[in-house]
Amino acid sequence: MKRNCVLLRYGELALKGKNKADFEDRLANNIREKTARFAGVSVVKTPGRIFVELEDEAPEALIDELKTVFGLVGICPAIRVENDWEKIKEAALELVRKQEGVRTFKVNSKRADKKFPIRSQEMNHRLGGFILGNVPELKVDVHNPELTLHVEVRSKYAYIYGNDIPGPGGLPVGASGRVLLLLSGGIDSPVAGYLALKRGVELHAIHFHSYPFTSERAKQKVIDLAQILTRYGGKIHLHIVPFTEIQTEINKHCYDSYSITIMRRFMLRISEAVAKKHGALALVTGESLGQVASQTLESMNTINEVTNMPILRPVIGMDKQEIMTIAKRIGTYETSILPYEDCCTVFLPKAPKTRPDKQVAAREEAKLDLERLVREAVEGTEVIELNPGEPEEEFSFF
Ligand code: ATP
Ligand code: MG
């Protein structure tokens, strides 16, 4: 038995039967992937609980890694002992002594094994008294303690841990199926991708690249953003679509004020084809209402008309400031604000239509060899597989 472990809590409300088993299996596997690079660490699943077991105390880097696992609501570095009263007391005292600067505490015991001779209330009292007797500078505060000392007595072992470290919540990645994220180099779409991952999807990403109008550095920026998202989502396939010919054709043949609308219609057609090819069931964008010309409801209608696929817009209800706050927290912001141009800005019309008409859009598009352009773009798409690796930069979470 290893003495050190991290007890992991997850939201299991509303989960039953097979769903619950799938959820737990997937979560445990995701945790295994995330912790594989730590030596001597194993992930153990027991009914209702997942543990990370390790030789020594959990290092900060491991805890940081666990903070990125969707589905976890609490991360509790714990001491595990046999469920023997003397050993429990000893471990509780050891844990309390390690806390620095704590002035008030309470004990919260749980007796999952009813054969254990001391009831929870009784344990709370006895342990509280024992700790007060040994650490005189501490006081009990049952309403608002700085430290809650948790004791969980199970059939063989007891687990002693302090305050929960909050996990990111959400659902385990992969539990909700696959989606395709339209990833630009901006601030919004990486955040949209993160929020979609939080709902348990597996992510593919697609980026439209107009080389040489947009540079290699602009492409690298998007690769870097997708790489950051792998921290939360595991492996990500990034599809890079050659978009130069389409943009040139639009620019040459279509009404200037409709160029953005038509360009977006192309993006959706190509995205739908790529999504279908790779088993993705929905598209995700970083669109928000009213931010720019193409994000009015009229515009969304005209653009959306070309696909029947569900489009998820996780940031639709957020202000730019809120989106930026998340971008900073998840570590995409600094990359997003690098100044490399996006394909949308290259051919920016002088006066983009804010209420583009469906018929006009269709008529303008009909001037182009639509099918061929879409087909060739899909065929020419380059796929890059990104795997979670060492972070390039240090940044703190939550
Ligand atoms: P973002 O910050 O995500 O770039 P934005 O506020 O700049 O968003 P738009 O430029 O109107 O808004 O783009 C809306 C959405 O269209 C983006 O969030 C993204 O999902 C998608 N998109 C835009 N440009 C590209 C691109 N070059 N490749 C892939 N998707 C794109
Ligand atoms: Mg943008």
For the chain, the maximum distance between any two Cα atoms, rounded to a whole number of angstroms, is: 86
Ligand with an atom nearest the CA of residue 348:
1
Query: CA-CA distance, 221 to 205, in Å (whole number)?
Result: 14
Pick the residue whose CA is nearest to atom 14 on ligand 1.
287
Q: Tell whether ligand 1 has an atom less than 6 A from the beta carbon of residue 287.
A: yes
CATH C-level class of 3-166: alpha beta
- In whole angstroms, give the CA distance from residue 151 to residue 106: 11
* Fold exhibited by the domain 178-397: Rossmann fold (3.40.50)
Q: pLDDT, tens digit, for every residue of 59-86?
A: 889 999 999 999 999 999 999 999 999 9
Residue 225 in contact with ligand 1 by CB distance below 6 A? no
CA of 45 to the centre of ligand 1 (A): 40
Res 228 pLDDT > 90? yes
According to the model, what pLDDT value does residue 14 have?
Answer: 64
Domain boundaries, the chain: 3-166, 178-397
* pLDDT at residue 348, as a whole number: 77
For residues 280 and 196, what is the distance between their CA atoms, to the nearest angstrom?
13
State in Å: Cα 382 to ligand 2 middle. Answer: 21
Q: What Cα–Cα distance (Å) separates residue 15 from each residue in 48, 160, 265, 336?
A: 11, 27, 39, 37
Q: Taking a C-beta distance cutoff of 8 angstroms, is the pair 190, 284 a contact? A: no
**CB 183 less than 6 A from any atom of ligand 1:** yes
pTM score: 0.89
Give Cα 67 to chain centroid, integer Å. 10
Arithmetic mean of pLDDT, 296-323: 94
**Is residue 264 annotated as involved in ligand binding?**
yes
Distance from the Cα of residue 251 to its chain's centroid: 37
Looking up tokens 């912790």 gives 35
**Is 231 flagged in the annotation as binding?**
no
pLDDT > 90 in the chain, percent = 76
For residue 46, how many other CB atoms are within 10 A of its CB?
Answer: 10
pLDDT above 70 for 233: yes
Residue 292 CA: nearest ligand 1 atom is: 11
CA-210 nearest atom, ligand 1: 27
Cα end-to-end distance, the chain, whole Å: 32
The predicted structure's pLDDT at residue 343: 64
Q: Is there an atom of ligand 1 within 6 Å of 208 CB?
A: yes
Which among 37, 45, 40 is positioned nearest to 12, based on CA atoms? Answer: 45
Nearest ligand to the CA of 183 is 1
pLDDT per position as a tens digit, 246-257: 999 999 999 999
Expressed in angstroms and rounded, the spacing between residue 69 Cα and the centre of ligand 1 is 26
b/e code 15-31 from CB counts within 10 Å (16+ = b): eeeeeeeebbebbbbbb
Ligand 1 within 6 A of 285 CB?
A: yes
Annotated ligand binding at 225? The verdict is no
Q: Is 207 annotated as a binding residue?
A: yes
CA distances from 335 to 151, 188, 219, 385 (A): 43, 12, 12, 19
For residues 313-329, give the mean pLDDT: 95
User: How far is C-alpha 280 from the chain's CA centre?
Assistant: 18
pLDDT tens for residues 171-199?
999 988 999 999 999 999 999 999 999 99
**Is 286 known to sit in a ligand binding site?**
yes
Span of 12-21, 31-40, 149-158, 172-181 with lowest mean pLDDT: 12-21
Q: Report the distance separating Cα 300 and Cα 264, nearest Å.
A: 10
Residue 391 has pLDDT above 60, yes or no: no
pLDDT band at 344, cuts 50/70/90? low
Give the single-character DSSP code of 182.
Answer: E
pLDDT of residue 18: 76
179, 188, 204, 238: which to mutate for ligand 1, most atoms within 8 A of CB?
Answer: 188
15 carries a ligand binding annotation = no
- pLDDT classification of 110: cutoffs 50, 70, 90: very high
Judge whether residue 351 has pLDDT over 70.
yes
What is d(CA 9, CA 167) in angstroms, rounded to the nearest whole number? 8
